Structure 1
Amino acid sequence: MPVAVGLAFGLVVSPMGAALADPKPTIGQAKAKLDKLNDKADKVVDRYNSATERYKKAKGTYAKLNTSYKRKLRTVADLRTQIADMAATVYRAGGYATSMPGLVGADNPQGRLAGMALAGQMAKERSEKLAAFDRENRGLKKERDKAQGALRSADEVRGEVEKERKEILGLIAKQKKLLRKLGAYKTGDPNSTGIEYTGPASGNAAAVLRFAFAQVGKPYVFGGTGPGGYDCSGLTQASWRAAGVSLPRTTWAQWAWGASRKVSLNALQPGDLIFSEGLGHVSIYAGNGKIVHAPQTGDVVKVVSLSDYGRGLVGAVRP
């Protein structure tokens, strides 16, 4: 996420001049420190987003397995009830349907045969039910074990998410302190209606950029996917979703997803995703040498010149 506070630094030099004997070194040192913080925050935020996605996937897997486990549990319980009912029926039938004395004492051969057929049928049904119960009961343990394993995995990833979240919060506190000192902190407006896109894009890219420009002025929020705030990859994902294209959640994942869609930085077209070195930041090319992006903590979704990006670029992807 490039440092886009250059204009703000320029604006605050004069007001601070009266209070500081030599403001330039102080601003330069603060800017250098902020650059390092932003670079570190980029990587931590992407790790946080990656861990969050893994946690969601693990939770989803657990939810499916747990649903299957509960369904099988109900099946086993139903079979258990059926077996108990059959046993009770056999007991109530006593000597007539299931015991040889009852069968031999029938009044006529037909009755005797009917009794034997009924006994055979009940024995077969009982055997089938018992076999089904045994099979389902064994499957029940497997389903339970799989569900419990998925839950443990989700809990482990949740620990990773919390660890990254704590580190981000520490970095954010430092970023905000520096930005406020420099008079460059922006809270943004979660309800901003943005600005109109009037650039050269057409087709899907036009839909992408109309959406992205409508988010201008909303705050950068780590882990943000909208509508009130975004981080860099959250904005690119939401913008391309508006054009019917599903991108992965994180910067790294978006770059990997676009492995076969990479384009030269000398042949950029509106809507292309532009990635910084280290893959810590991604923005959207808007045409005419402009990009729209969610920069970093203390800033807002904005449109800036690509030449003011502030960092080296690793490449671009055309979704």
Structure 2
Amino acid sequence: MASHRRPKQPSRARVTVLTTAAAAAVALSSQAANAAPSEKPSKDEVKAKVDKLYEEAEQATEKFNGAKEKQEKLQKEISTIQDNVARGQDELNELRDSMGLAAAAQYRSGGVDPSLQLFLSSNPDDYLDKASTADQLSAQQVEALKKIQEKQRELAQERSEASEKLKDLASTRTELGKKKQQVQTKLSEARTLYNSLTAAEKAKLEAEQERASRDSGREVLGSGTAASGRAGAAYAWAQSQLGKPYVYGATGMSSYDCSGLTSRAYAAAGVGIPRTSEAQSTIGTKIYSQSQLQVGDLVFFFNDLHHVGLYAGNGQIIHAPRTGTVVRYESMGTIGGPFMFGVRV
């Protein structure tokens, strides 16, 4: 007969040893994890991350500028339409008053024409479609009624157009708010990351940037000729703005963003160009070879064309780079994105 022996239970001492060993293993594991905290990123790593955030902020800035420009354009168009409607309403009132005077004259001479009386009490649109009514009116009255009809149609169309533009304006304002928030979020993240550096690290970075700008300025001296008189004038004006800070959405005179500087520079030269970098890229003559660029040409960077500057000669540009910097000279090779093409205005 087979024996059915119960398995031997571990002794209390053995359980205690196993429990103690497990606890020790957990403690050692925890100590090991705590003993190897993530290392603080280096100055160069922080700079790379900050530069990336600023690039994303500039992308959002150009979209913000586009929405702002659209908003301003819509506001002007709506104002023009509203002025037209007001003038049109005055003209309509004058036409109606003239019909009223005709009715008064008829009344004094012995009564108001039934068809004219009918018009004065309601809308004339239905009446001219009825031959019997038209037959009872004089040619002058028919012409006056037609003018009133036409003016009413114009006003209805203009009011409808204004209504649609007001809806578009509301949508654009919402988009503008979102783009502004995107810019502010990126800038806030960049500032927080930059502030994680020590004072010495910040000073070193600033010194490096200032030295690079000085070197670029020396490279520019005596190099290149302007593409045209107006390009030369735009470039000379941009030089007068060196040292002024970058501020997103700014067009001067105390601060600029990238396209704000270029649009103001050409305005100073008597040439109106669009506000945003993307729109500026659609004007003038495109120049794809860097060797063909001349001083004062617009130069565009990154695949989405969100950055623009003015060519300064010898592979250098003058531009408003990003938040935390000023209008300065810089080598095209250090912009952070590829040169796409130039535009000769």
TM-score category of the 2 structures, normalised to the smaller one: 0.7 to 0.9
Whole-angstrom distance in 2 between the partners of 1:318 and 1:24: 46
Q: Is the 8 A contact 1:212 1:239 kept in 2?
A: yes
Aligned residues: percent identity? 36
Whole-angstrom distance in 2 between the partners of 1:295 and 1:181: 22
Cα distance, 1:39 vs structure 2: 2.1
Q: Is the 8 A contact 1:274 1:316 kept in 2?
A: yes
The amino acid that maps onto 1:300 is V
Map 1:74-153 → 2, pairs under 5 A: 74-94=90-110, 123-153=138-168
Whole-angstrom distance in 1 between the partners of 2:192 and 2:85: 51
> What residue is the counterpart of 2:293 in the other structure?
268
Deviations 1:263-299 (A, max 9, x none): 4112222112221122121111112333111011111
Whole-angstrom distance in 2 between the partners of 1:57 and 1:223: 16
TM-score, length basis structure 2: 0.69
Q: Is the 8 A contact 1:273 1:316 kept in 2?
A: yes
Evaluate the alpha carbon distance shift between residue 139 and residue 268 of structure 1 in structure 2; reply closer, same or farther with a 3 A threshold.
closer
Evaluate the alpha carbon distance shift between residue 219 and residue 128 of structure 1 in structure 2; reply closer, same or farther with a 3 A threshold.
same
Deviations 1:50-108 (A, max 9, x none): 1122222222222222222111111111112111222122112226x989xxxxxxxxx
Segments ≥4 residues shifted beyond 6 Å: none
Determine helix, strand or coil for the equivalent of 2:177. helix
Whole-angstrom distance in 1 between the partners of 2:194 and 2:327: 16
Q: Is the 8 A contact 2:54 2:187 kept in 1?
A: no
Match of 2:322 among 293, 296, 319: 296
Cα distance, 1:176 vs structure 2: 2.7
User: Within the alignment, does 1:306 sit opposite 2:321 as a pair?
Assistant: no
Determine helix, strand or coil for the equivalent of 1:256. coil
> What residue is the counterpart of 1:116 in the other structure?
none
Determine helix, strand or coil for the equivalent of 2:310. strand
Match of 1:230 among 212, 235, 256: 256
Evaluate the alpha carbon distance shift between residue 210 and residue 76 of structure 1 in structure 2; reply closer, same or farther with a 3 A threshold.
same
Cα distance, 1:181 vs structure 2: 4.3
Cα distance, 1:180 vs structure 2: 4.3
Evaluate the alpha carbon distance shift between residue 315 and residue 131 of structure 1 in structure 2; reply closer, same or farther with a 3 A threshold.
closer
Whole-angstrom distance in 2 between the partners of 1:33 and 1:266: 32
Cα distance, 1:306 vs structure 2: 3.1
Deviations 1:220-258 (A, max 9, x none): 111111112111011111112222222211111112224
Determine helix, strand or coil for the equivalent of 1:261. strand
Determine helix, strand or coil for the equivalent of 2:103. helix
Evaluate the alpha carbon distance shift between residue 209 and residue 131 of structure 1 in structure 2; reply closer, same or farther with a 3 A threshold.
closer
Evaluate the alpha carbon distance shift between residue 273 and residue 80 of structure 1 in structure 2; reply closer, same or farther with a 3 A threshold.
same
Cα distance, 1:135 vs structure 2: 2.4
Determine helix, strand or coil for the equivalent of 2:326. coil
User: Within the alignment, does 1:158 sit opposite 2:173 as a pair?
Assistant: yes
Mean Cα deviation higher: 284-293 or 216-225: 284-293
Whole-angstrom distance in 2 between the partners of 1:132 and 1:280: 51
Cα distance, 1:24 vs structure 2: 8.7
Match of 2:52 among 15, 22, 36: 36
Mean Cα deviation higher: 54-63 or 152-161: 54-63
Q: Is the 8 A contact 2:58 2:248 kept in 1?
A: no
Evaluate the alpha carbon distance shift between residue 137 and residue 204 of structure 1 in structure 2; reply closer, same or farther with a 3 A threshold.
closer
User: Within the alignment, does 1:71 sit opposite 2:96 as a pair?
Assistant: no
TM-score, length basis structure 1: 0.74
Evaluate the alpha carbon distance shift between residue 223 and residue 164 of structure 1 in structure 2; reply closer, same or farther with a 3 A threshold.
same
Deviations 1:99-139 (A, max 9, x none): 9xxxxxxxxxxxxxxxxxxxxxx944333322322221222
The amino acid that maps onto 1:155 is A
The amino acid that maps onto 1:173 is S
Q: How large is the Cα RMSD of the aligned pairs?
A: 2.8
- Which protein has greater RCO, CA pairs closer than 8 Å, 6+ apart? 1
The amino acid that maps onto 1:126 is Q
Determine helix, strand or coil for the equivalent of 2:243. coil
Match of 2:280 among 254, 273, 297: 254
Q: Is the 8 A contact 1:44 1:168 kept in 2?
A: yes
Where structure 2 has 5 or more consecutive residues not aligned to the other structure, the ranges are 1-38, 115-136, 207-216
User: Within the alignment, does 1:244 sit opposite 2:259 as a pair?
Assistant: no
The amino acid that maps onto 1:277 is F
Mean Cα deviation higher: 309-318 or 216-225: 309-318
